[in-house]
Amino acid sequence: METGRTGNLSTASNTPAAASRSPIKRRVSFGTIQIPELSKRLITEILETARISSGKYVRLFEERFAELLGVKEAVALSSGTDADILALSVLHDFGAKQGDEVIVPALSFVATGNAVVHAGFKPVFVDIDRKTLNIDVHQIESAITEKTRAIMPVHLMGKPADMDGVNAIAKRYGLAVVEDAAEAHGARYKGKPVGTLGDLGAFSLYVAHIITTGEGGIVVTGNEAYAQILRSLRSHGRACKCKECTLNTTSGFCAKRFKSEDGGDIRFVFERLGYSSKMNELEAAIGLGNLECYREILDKRRNNLLHALKRFERFRPYLATIQEEPWEEIGPHAIPIVVQEGASFTRSELGHYLEQEGIETRTLFASMPTQCAGFAYLGHRSGQFPNAEYIGRHGLHIGVHQDLGLEEMEYVMERLEKFLEAYQK
């Protein structure tokens, strides 16, 4: 398909919308939230008891989430960003020091980089592979120094990172692996759930994600010691960190309460620097309802995503997206769309057109070290992370959530085709 640009998009007669001459047929929103009847019933019960702080329903949600992923431990938190922060902060109990380094991909939602800093580490950025949107494992080793303590791969848009490559490097250098699986619910890599492939896995439970608590996050691990530290960290670093806390779930007698060395209340003995990052009961109730219908939500989203990806070939060489490989299952978070070098239109023009046609869009994040002002203090220069920077200028993404169907996906494909046809004239 050759394109010949025929004027400025601000001129109404030359816009793709004018060229297609079609009214908005559908509304394709980016995200949704599902609050099942179970959640509503539990919320009513919780409100009637007036026990809304972290308690028995948070514990139940953790147990169910751990069962879903087949792991020993899950620790619920107040956000996906906190999940990243606390997962990294665990490393301080195992010799990591303030100012040590964590390797992360240059492209991600800014929370990834923020979390490294808030956990007391320095983010060391590595460029991405444009085809996968994930960290380029071939560039990781050159970023390792004597201060490196962990690698934090991000499964961006739910597409699994190259975990064999990441884990091999981590093993060779004695590094921890903390997976940022914020968008990767339901993703699988070589038969195993994403988030269970490293030492710890951090998920977001934000409203637009496949499993949601409205706000919230959760860390999973097979290491019971890590989980104990996480439970301490989320509550100011206190020594009270039982997996089943009688005080929180029933307010009953606790034999451990006054067994500290000086006989003080263990709830006010603080073993480490911590955070205030607990999930509350109302959020857990939403999460429990979501877990009940998780498979249905996942299947709907997977159908939507794969339907769109299989039909995306027609838009080459002007638009590109990710592809699912035989060894993986993409967690269906969204459809990434990247405007390619040969296109005669910009991301802004494409995004504006899609919004006019009722298709809600989001930009596809940015190169944290060179396109996010908060990291300017690190001294990186534009051009150091060319692939991440390209996506930061030319990428966007659209929803595939469970309130959409194949008709909406076809509508998106048709609108994209109409947009490109407008440049052939």
Fold of 12-32+292-421: Aspartate Aminotransferase, domain 1 (3.90.1150)
> Could you identify the residue written with the tokens 């601000």?
10
> How far is Cα 97 from Cα 146, in angstroms, rounded to an integer?
12
> How far is Cα 290 from Cα 253, in angstroms, rounded to an integer?
33
Q: For a pLDDT cut of 70, what percent of the chain falls above it?
A: 88
- Residues 246, 248, 254, 256, Cα dihedral to 10°: 100
Q: pLDDT tens across 39-92, in order? A: 999 999 999 999 999 999 999 999 999 999 999 999 999 999 999 999 999 999
User: Among 164-168, 240-244, 369-373, which is the least confidently predicted range?
Assistant: 240-244
- Among the four given CATH numbers 3.40.50.300, 3.20.20.10, 3.40.640.10, 3.20.20.480, the one describing domain 37-290: 3.40.640.10
Contact by Cβ (8 Å): 383, 389: yes
- Every domain of the chain and the residues it spans: 12-32+292-421, 37-290
Q: Phi, psi (5° rounding) for residue 285?
A: -65, -40
- Which residue type, as a one-letter code, is found at position 371? Q
Average pLDDT on 329-349 reads 97
User: Could you tell me the two tokens for 81?
Assistant: 């960003």
Active-site annotation holder among 92, 155, 185, 209 = 209
User: Could you tell me the two tokens for 189?
Assistant: 């890599």
Q: pLDDT tens across 271-320, in order? A: 999 999 999 999 999 999 999 999 999 999 999 999 999 999 999 999 99
Cβ-proximal residues to 253 (8 Å cutoff; 6+ apart), any chain: 246
* pTM of the predicted model as reported, rounded to 2 decimal places: 0.90
- DSSP letters of 9-31? TTSGGGSHHHHHT------B-S-
255-259, long-range: CB < 8 A, 24+ apart: none
- Which residue type, as a one-letter code, is found at position 420? L
Q: Please tell me the predicted confidence (pLDDT) of residue 22.
A: 52
pLDDT at residue 334 tops 60? yes
Chain-centre distance of CA 265, in angstroms?
Answer: 38
pLDDT at residue 136 tops 80? yes
401 is an active site residue: no
Q: pLDDT tens across 12-35, in order? A: 334 444 444 455 568 999 999 989
